Amino acid sequence: MNDVRLAAISEEALDLDAHLRAVEDPRLGGVTTFVGRVRDNDPDAQTPVVGLEYSAHPDAEAALRRIAEEAGGSDATAVVAVSHRIGRLEVGDAAVVIAVASEHRAEAFEVCRAVIEEIKKDLPVWKRQVESDGTTSWKGIGG
């Protein structure tokens, strides 16, 4: 099971450096990061995307911690820091930040990828996509 030092659902801007500091450990040589940013396009959008509005279930933070603990399977021993932002985000804003440290790079990459894939599948956070023409659409778990 991974050592989760940070698992947060936040209305504040996400700080990659804070996540890197959270996983700092002189015993660990492999550190990976992932930053998911709001982009200005979506295959389903008819006009440019101008923002996303994220909302979360009250249990989302506990679910995020569980995802981070279990990422990579039962043999994983990485250190993880992960946050998901909620509220209104503009194009370019970070929606998800993940930092993972482990003894070797392979495990760090594996756990980091597992965390984001499980977030996309199972985290109870939903987003409302806003397009430049005012059109909105909801995207849920797995979307």
From the CA atom positions of the chain, what is the Rg in Å?
15
Query: Contact 137/129 with Cβ under 8 angstroms?
Result: yes
Task: Tell me if the pTM is above 0.85.
Answer: yes
Helix orientation angle between 60-70 and 105-122, rounded to the nearest 10 degrees: 150
| E strand spans, 29-103 | 30-37, 49-56, 79-85, 87-90, 94-102
pLDDT, averaged per 10 consecutive residues of the chain (143 residues), comes to 97 98 97 98 95 98 98 93 98 98 97 97 96 92 57
Query: Contact 49/124 with Cβ under 8 angstroms?
Result: no
What is the DSSP code string of 97-130?
EEEEEESSHHHHHHHHHHHHHHHHHH--EEEEEE
First to last CA, the chain: 27
What pLDDT sits at residue 140?
A: 73
Domains of the chain plus CATH, in order, are: 3-139 (3.90.1170.40)
